[in-house]
Amino acid sequence: MAIRRAYEKLQDPQCQKVFSDFTDASGVTLQQKLDQSDKTAASYLGWLFFYNGDGTQLCDGAARHAFTIPGA
């Protein structure tokens, strides 16, 4: 349900502006990365994998709801 809601929000032009607000380590905006891949933010979401991390060391913190690593 959360992924479906994220997909809906990522189709909103106002929400898409966030991808121009952040850059990767080389200074390229996330929007530029999406443009280079010929994907929209919503379509890129379909390429991501989500796993339940309950019980893993990285998810044991009460305040942590998600994590990733650079380049993942």
pLDDT digits (tens, 9 = 90+) for 33-62: 999 999 899 998 888 887 776 666 666 666
Cα(first)–Cα(last) distance of the chain, in Å? 23
Q: In sequence order, which ranges of 1-72 are alpha helices (DSSP H)? A: 2-10, 13-16, 30-37, 41-45
Residue 27 falls inside a structural domain: yes
Residue 40 falls inside a structural domain: yes
Residue 26 falls inside a structural domain: yes
Q: Which amino acid is at 2?
A: A
Mean pLDDT of the chain, nearest integer: 83
Q: What is the pLDDT of residue 70?
A: 75
- CA atoms of 33 and 13, how far apart (whole Å): 17
Give the chain's domain count: 1
Average pLDDT over residues 15-41: 92
63 contacts: CB under 8 Å, gap ≥ 6: none
Neighbours of 13 (CB within 10 A): 6
Prediction pTM value? 0.63
Residue 64 falls inside a structural domain: no
